[in-house]
Structure 1
Amino acid sequence: MRVRVRPEWIDYNGHLSEAYYVLAFGFATDALMDRVGLDETYRARTGCSLYTVEAHVRYLDEVGAGAELAIATTVVGAGAKKLHLCHEMAVAATVVATEEILALHVGEGRAVPFPAEVAERLAPLVEPPPSYAGRAITDP
């Protein structure tokens, strides 16, 4: 998934504002949802969607206006109701940020199992987690 950094995404320090890293990672989650059948039609028909319930972002390098972001998504776990993803954001093949998320498949305000066809599409996508997965924030 690719997206270009817009001028309005730049903060007062002249770099991509932290909120827009998360926005771009959200676009990557949406692309995966579309790929496995949790697309707009599915959401309208079922009222179900993915809700991110936990996230860990690492900001590794600065990004300027106009940069093209390439985001690769790794599915590191897929349970009956849960999805564990890792996103890597790169600019010109240099990783500038990562995000690890835990999402729940939610319908009617509670976690519900993925439909069988979605679970079948997710299962072969599961790969070993990258080295940064599971990291915690530590004191300096």
Structure 2
Amino acid sequence: MSAENLQGQLYRSAPIAMEKEWIDYNGHLNMAYYNVVFDRGGDEFLAELGFGPKYAAERKLTIYTAEVHICYVQEIHLDHIVTVTSQLIDFDAKRLHTYNEIVHQDGWVAATAEVMSLHVDMNGPKVVPFPDDILPTLDFYKQAHSKLPLPARVGRSIGIKRK
């Protein structure tokens, strides 16, 4: 894919169906399973960036999640089908900053997740720089995704605002 073809587009996962065990006693997706949905869709994006299961198995390098900020926007129910969109916000030698949304098949956003991930040598485990052959893909996505608007929920913090 070229940056011109990707310009203005987020990465979108395959459709994800809800599972009965994920639904809580309130009749909607339990908060823990929003993480499962984000993880499944996010793993697809990580594989697109070059960090899939083969990368981990062959190189003994992988991505660990360091921090996640989730906003629950709208309830998801058992009969819903969603996708996860992903945007590479930034990266440095050892970290990825991504933003993801769970999007219902009808187009509305159910939840958002801002994620800081670390590149890890599994033999340590310890945080290590990305290999040189991965950097062009990261540069490609950062350039393409930088043409998109910065999502409003990026950089938010939690707190009770006092006057």
Over the matched positions of the two proteins, sequence identity in percent amounts to 31
TM-score, with normalisation over the residues of structure 1? 0.95
What is the CA–CA distance in structure 2 between the aligned matches of 1:40 and 1:62, rounded to whole Å?
Answer: 31
Whole-angstrom distance in 2 between the partners of 1:48 and 1:90: 30
Contact 2:42 2:84 in 1 (8 A): no
Q: Distance in 1 between matches of 2:130 and 2:99?
A: 19
Instruction: Kindly report which structure 2 residues correspond to 1:1-140, keeping only aligned pairs within 5 A, or say none.
Output: 1=13, 2-91=15-104, 92-107=106-121, 108-126=124-142, 127-128=145-146, 129-139=150-160
Matched residue SS, 2:134 = helix
Task: Structure 2 unaligned segments of length 5 or more: list them.
Answer: 1-12
**Gap runs ≥5 in structure 1:** none
**Residue 138 of structure 1: CA displacement?**
2.1
Aligned residues: 140
| Partner SS state of residue 86, structure 2 | strand
Q: After TM superposition, give the deviation of residue 21 of structure 1 in Å.
A: 0.6
CA RMSD of aligned residues (A): 1.2
Render the CA deviation track for 1:34-75: whole Å, top value 9, x for unaligned.
112211111011111101000000000111002001210000
Q: Please say if residues 53 and 104 of structure 1, whose CA atoms lie closer than 8 Å, have aligned partners that are also in contact.
A: yes
TM-score by length of 2: 0.82
Q: Do 1:10 and 1:64's aligned partners in 2 also have CA atoms closer than 8 Å? A: yes
The structure in which a higher percent of residues are strand is 1
